[in-house]
Homo-oligomer: A and B are copies of this chain.
Amino acid sequence: MAPVTRKPVFLLLFFITMLLAISNFGSALGTYKPCKEIVLYFHDIVYNGKNAPNATSAIVSAPEGANLTILAGQFHFGNLVAFDDPITLDNNLHSKPVGRAQGLYFYDSKKTYSAWLGFTFSLNSTDYEGTINFIGADPIMLKTRDISVVGGTGDFFMHRGVATLQTDSFEGDVYFRLRVHTKFYECW
């Protein structure tokens, strides 16, 4: 009779094991499904001394010998930029913004275009209300770059994830548009 009574226990063991595997208990699968994902665009217009009314960002530091109205030579190494860029649902600069991307990018390489990013999406639309915080390296010449989503507030309370960046467009040193595919793997 013993085998019969043990059966539900093994079923339960199996069920628990599955639960743990689905959760974050060191699964070795390597592929995870986001619990939430969003694709957004943001638009950056760098101040160049002439476009003050339209500019959404400005160079505020530069290496020795460079100035603040033109990105520095040597892959902009040493340029720190403050930005407050409109976020849109599609790739049109003139679409109604759903929030602002605010923070810094900091060109940190002398050998290629690469920047360190620290910024926040402050969303304020009918769909989302809250902030998402990002940091990471952005080796701009790669087609896609992954950065970390380290936290959030409001609708994104305590969320974590990974965001994939793509340069959707750029015009000289003045305008660029970034496509940000944010994938959350910890939702609350």
- A166 at interface by CB-CB < 8 Å: no
| Contact B27–A188 (Cβ < 8 Å) | yes
What class of interface size applies to chain A in its complex with B? Answer: 35 or more
Considering the complex, give the chain B residue whose CB is closest to the CB of A57: B108
Number of copies: 3
| Contact A151–B136 (Cβ < 8 Å) | yes
Which of B116, B120, B122, B185 lies in contact with A103, CB distance below 8 A?
Answer: B116
- A102 at interface by CB-CB < 8 Å: yes
With known contacts A25-B23, A84-B111, A136-B120, A63–B63 Cβ distance under 8 A: no
- A149 at interface by CB-CB < 8 Å: yes
Considering the complex, give the chain B residue whose CB is closest to the CB of A27: B188
- A106 at interface by CB-CB < 8 Å: yes
- A182 at interface by CB-CB < 8 Å: no
